Structure 1
Amino acid sequence: IDEYQDTNKAQFEIIHQLALVHQRVCVVGDDDQAIYSFRGATLRNILEFERDYRDVRTIRLEQNYRSTTAILDLANRVIKQNKQRHPKELFSELGEGMKPVLNVYSDANVEAEQIALDISRQWSLGRNLRDIAILYRTNAQSRLFENALMQRKIPYSIVGSLNFYQRKEIKDLLAYLNCLGNPADNESLLRIINEPPRGIGQTTVNRLLGFAAKTRISLFSAVQNQVAIKEMNSGAHKRVAEFCGIIEEWRAMTTRLPVADLVKEIVEELGLVSLYRKSSDPKDIARAENLIEFVASVNEFAERFAIDNERAPLLEDFLPYVALQTDLDKVSEELDSVRLMTLHNAKGLEFVVVYLAGLEDELLPHRMSMDTIEEIEEERRLFYVGITRAKRELILSLAEARRLYETYSFTQPSMFLDNLEDVLDSPGHIAAPAQSSYRKPKNKIRESQKHFKIGQRVWHKEYKQGVVLSVDGMGRDAVVTVSFKNGKLIKIVGSFLQTESVT
């Protein structure tokens, strides 16, 4: 049995029963690469193999044929901090090699731009792009790297996922914006008319389409005139009328409300983030993170636009920009291209040059996996997997500031970077390059100055448990956006919240 560290309880029981009498079982695995607990895999299977079977012979395969000694020195130092593991130490005969580098950037945009700049330099010197990978903890992090690579016309492909603007939840939100900008956009309207679900089924949609075709009007005009469709029942009339009301209300806002505020209004009103966050499925949690990242991207666009045009952008200013982004990210898979992927998707792969980005607390380790020692150790194994993807060059990086939702906050370096000074080459802080296309906001509030923190669990007497998504202000009276477990996304004054459970 290969990859035994990834087996679950049911698979263990099947194997154990099959081998109960003869005890002839051969397994191969690495407990230091056990990173799939969210799929049901259990670390105990490989850690307790010697207890589960009699007369076990263990063969340690410690020679590494991929990475240089300098990279393995870092990997060994990192993973030794874990307690739940079989002791082992990788070694290589490929030579000492280059010491891994740790770069500290002033913010996440500069991190992405500088990595793209370095890749451009390597490309110009003859390096194949397919030999280069950018690894990160969450799917949402890909957007900044996609944008930076596109700006430099560097082909890229995303492994195990879609390009940022091609992801379902982003396409849904863009469909809302396109529909507000152009109500005659039937394709966008069909995408959102029952997304998120509002009880408008395919039968109702077919009757709206039939009425539009018969009267030679757009689908949205049919929605506005739904009372004239006699085949629809009263329930369908009511639901379509409610949907129409929402769209018309937001359309009225498009000419006066800045696009950043409009997008936040739509996301919060639809409850899209809370819809995905209340799920225990990691894919849904990733969708919530993608939506939060989209809001951040709109805010970045708004800041640049305001500097260049001395006014806040409206929806009509944003739509051409985002249309360009969605066209640019269609890269042929056959092209020589940089590989972008999450650490989970990187397992089993190898690259000559690896950039491992976003090494900050609440990203790696992830904010949802910092409650127990077991969770933190799995996050450290994820870091170890990322390190050991590199064959010759490994460049680690972190950003001192990062935007999450509408808040721009300082970060803390990952706890996994502690005591690694002698196995890392750290050139120090790297500020924005002169040609940087991104302009940082002038005023930032340090996370340590705030009473409420992003990712913090809070409680409300009526709504119960929730997670803080954004904080506007420093004290207990700060305005806090909270995603509650009951599905509600609410902006509330912090004094109405508790940081301990409300019974």
Structure 2
Amino acid sequence: MVVGDDYQSIYSWRGANFRNILNFEKDYKNAVVIKLEQNYRSSKTILTAANDVIKFNKNKTDKKLWTEKAEGMPITVYQALNEKDEAEFVAMEIKSLARHYSSSGARSSQPTASNSNYSDIAVLYRTNAQSRAIEETFLRFKIPYKIVGGFRFYERAEIKNMIAFLRLIYNPADFESFERAVSAVPRGIGKKTIDKLRELPNYFSLFSNGTMEQLNNFSPKVEQFYELLFDFHKTSLTLPLDQLILNIAEKSGYKKYLLDGTAEGEGRWENVLELSTVAAQVEAQMQSVIPAEVFDCTQTVSDSRTAGIHDLLNGSPGTTLKNTAGSEDDNFIDGETALELFLQQVSLTQDTDQIKSDGGVVTLMTLHSAKGLEFRAVFVIGVEEGLFPHSRALVDENEMEEERRLCYVGITRAKERLYLIHAGERNLYGRLQFNEKSRFIENISECLLDII
């Protein structure tokens, strides 16, 4: 016996071939085919929407889902202003839904934030990088969540590695960050060498030119890495923070290391690009609260910090860029820099990303990870051309058919409520995007939709 559903074949990038199902009757002519078309999970509205989307695929078996369940609620379509508005809409709707699910269940007749049933709800997205805006908003709204099939944004290895480089720029005495940064890309610098560097007196002074004689007993690769770090220090004085992140990724070889030709590698690089998006937003916020004349003092401040960095690099442990960024006479507010503010925000997020709940947690995951799961309410975010369907699918019909199958999977995860959300503009992967509403929304019969 063989069981399969070509409509849910979504792993071609892992070698899966849905044509094995399409060709099964040809390969085994005496086989008896039984179509399992009755669905016991979703409402009629949700199933009709799924059928509406998948019917545009040419390469598929002929079947149509149906159910004896009621019509159910219409599908909510929301056009957000941007990714922040998208995340806040999701958070507010989830708060409302969770209270409703809690009050309609046996646990409590008077729903409160503490007994909300968040476990009935999922947020799905096409790429891992999209979770960042949702995660940060959930923390503000105190919505507990978990990531399925992956890690929280700031727990992802590629994000930790980039943060390590930035912490090292801010504080050269941070050996833990040094150890992570030097190991981010294989460079022939192993644990024994790192332990020897740790034992050097004032190892952090090695960032300064003119003290490399301490490395005479080490491999030239070690000196090359220190020269790279010193270059990053100088670059940090002039480059905007988002560009600094991309510069570090490029010159350190980390970008090349991540982009290894696999879909997973592309996803990891997209996370780094999303980190640069966060950095740009932090710097923009900084400029909005500091008077413009402060930023007219760039040359004076830069000279001050350039002089200070040599004191920093030859100084004592614990000295940071904040100590050398200038005094109040330099028009800096408490000596804070964009890098410092950014690292503070990252630390705050990392410290508060565990919200206790006795009412379950909202599930966040990619559409690929959602296969086989079900929830009372499902939010699919970023339903936009170039994002979902993915940009690759816009020029390849085979890719587009797989994206439709992925949309079919996402829609049919919902039992009662389905939300499809798109944004007019979106900061993603380090750039501002203006994407049209996805064709998948257009494919669904208008009578099934509640457009708000």
TM-score with structure 1 setting the length: 0.74
Amino acid at match of 2:159: I
Counterpart residue number, 1:304:
285
What SS does the aligned partner of 1:227 have?
helix
**Alpha carbons of structure 1 residues 138 and 31: separation in structure 2 relative to 1, 3 Å:** same
What whole-Å deviation, never above 9, does each CA across 1:221-244 have from its counterpart, x for those lacking one?
A: 467655335643xxx1x2222221
Amino acid at match of 2:227: G
8 Å contact kept, 2:6–2:21: yes
Corresponding residue to 1:156 among 145, 148, 155: 145
* Rounded Cα–Cα distance in structure 2 between residues aligned with 1:413 and 1:271: 36
Q: Give the Å deviation of 1:256.
A: 5.2
8 Å contact kept, 2:274–2:430: no
* Rounded Cα–Cα distance in structure 2 between residues aligned with 1:89 and 1:262: 52
1:45-84 correspondence to structure 2 within 5 Å: 45-84=20-59
Corresponding residue to 1:395 among 402, 406, 419: 419
Counterpart residue number, 2:70:
95
Mapped pair 1:228 → 2:214 = yes
Amino acid at match of 1:308: V
1:104-143 correspondence to structure 2 within 5 Å: 104-125=79-100, 126=102, 127-143=116-132
Corresponding residue to 1:287 among 251, 255, 268: 268
More strand by share: 1
**Alpha carbons of structure 1 residues 335 and 160: separation in structure 2 relative to 1, 3 Å:** farther
Q: Which moved more, 1:365-374 or 1:137-146?
A: 365-374
Q: Give the Å deviation of 1:190.
A: 0.3
Mapped pair 1:239 → 2:221 = yes
Amino acid at match of 2:426: R
* Rounded Cα–Cα distance in structure 2 between residues aligned with 1:82 and 1:422: 20
Q: Give the Å deviation of 1:366.
A: 1.0
Corresponding residue to 1:266 among 248, 251, 254: 248
Q: Give the Å deviation of 1:273.
A: 3.2
8 Å contact kept, 2:117–2:359: no
Amino acid at match of 1:380: R
Amino acid at match of 2:195: N
Q: Give the Å deviation of 1:386.
A: 0.2
What SS does the aligned partner of 2:395 have?
coil
Counterpart residue number, 1:480:
none
Q: Give the Å deviation of 1:423.
A: 4.3
* Rounded Cα–Cα distance in structure 2 between residues aligned with 1:84 and 1:147: 40
**Alpha carbons of structure 1 residues 196 and 336: separation in structure 2 relative to 1, 3 Å:** same
8 Å contact kept, 1:208–1:222: no
8 Å contact kept, 2:142–2:355: no
8 Å contact kept, 1:159–1:340: yes
1:325-340 correspondence to structure 2 within 5 Å: 325-331=349-355, 336-340=360-364
* Rounded Cα–Cα distance in structure 2 between residues aligned with 1:347 and 1:405: 25
What whole-Å deviation, never above 9, does each CA across 1:96-138 have from its counterpart, x for those lacking one?
A: 1001111111112211111111112223443510100000000
**Alpha carbons of structure 1 residues 151 and 76: separation in structure 2 relative to 1, 3 Å:** same
What whole-Å deviation, never above 9, does each CA across 1:189-232 have from its counterpart, x for those lacking one?
A: 001113223332333223223x33xx4x4x43467655335643
8 Å contact kept, 1:358–1:397: yes
More helix by share: 2
* Rounded Cα–Cα distance in structure 2 between residues aligned with 1:399 and 1:275: 32
Counterpart residue number, 1:146:
135
Q: Give the Å deviation of 1:259.
A: 2.5
What whole-Å deviation, never above 9, does each CA across 1:375-421 have from its counterpart, x for those lacking one?
A: 11011000000000000000111111112344313111212222424
8 Å contact kept, 2:124–2:365: yes
Counterpart residue number, 2:333:
none
* Rounded Cα–Cα distance in structure 2 between residues aligned with 1:265 and 1:223: 18
Gaps of 5+ in 1: 1-25, 429-503
8 Å contact kept, 1:259–1:315: yes
Identity of aligned residues (%): 40
1:341-356 correspondence to structure 2 within 5 Å: 341-356=365-380
**Alpha carbons of structure 1 residues 369 and 186: separation in structure 2 relative to 1, 3 Å:** same
8 Å contact kept, 1:63–1:91: yes
Counterpart residue number, 1:456:
none
Q: Which moved more, 1:55-64 or 1:415-424?
A: 415-424
Amino acid at match of 1:38: W
What SS does the aligned partner of 1:391 have?
strand
Q: Give the Å deviation of 1:183.
A: 1.3
What whole-Å deviation, never above 9, does each CA across 1:419-442 have from its counterpart, x for those lacking one?
A: 4242432434xxxxxxxxxxxxxx
4+ long deviations beyond 6 Å: 332-335
* Rounded Cα–Cα distance in structure 1 between residues aligned with 2:286 and 2:216: 47
Counterpart residue number, 2:111:
none
8 Å contact kept, 1:257–1:314: no
* Rounded Cα–Cα distance in structure 2 between residues aligned with 1:274 and 1:371: 25
Amino acid at match of 1:199: G
**Alpha carbons of structure 1 residues 336 and 322: separation in structure 2 relative to 1, 3 Å:** same
**Alpha carbons of structure 1 residues 93 and 100: separation in structure 2 relative to 1, 3 Å:** same
Mapped pair 1:251 → 2:233 = yes
Counterpart residue number, 1:192:
181
**Alpha carbons of structure 1 residues 177 and 154: separation in structure 2 relative to 1, 3 Å:** same
Gaps of 5+ in 2: 103-115, 296-336
8 Å contact kept, 1:223–1:241: no
* Rounded Cα–Cα distance in structure 1 between residues aligned with 2:235 and 2:446: 56
* Rounded Cα–Cα distance in structure 2 between residues aligned with 1:221 and 1:423: 68
Q: Give the Å deviation of 1:86.
A: 0.9
Corresponding residue to 2:444 among 409, 420, 425: 420
* Rounded Cα–Cα distance in structure 1 between residues aligned with 2:172 and 2:118: 42
Counterpart residue number, 1:498:
none
* Rounded Cα–Cα distance in structure 2 between residues aligned with 1:30 and 1:334: 37
Amino acid at match of 1:304: Q
**Alpha carbons of structure 1 residues 93 and 203: separation in structure 2 relative to 1, 3 Å:** same
**Alpha carbons of structure 1 residues 254 and 72: separation in structure 2 relative to 1, 3 Å:** same
**Alpha carbons of structure 1 residues 147 and 36: separation in structure 2 relative to 1, 3 Å:** same
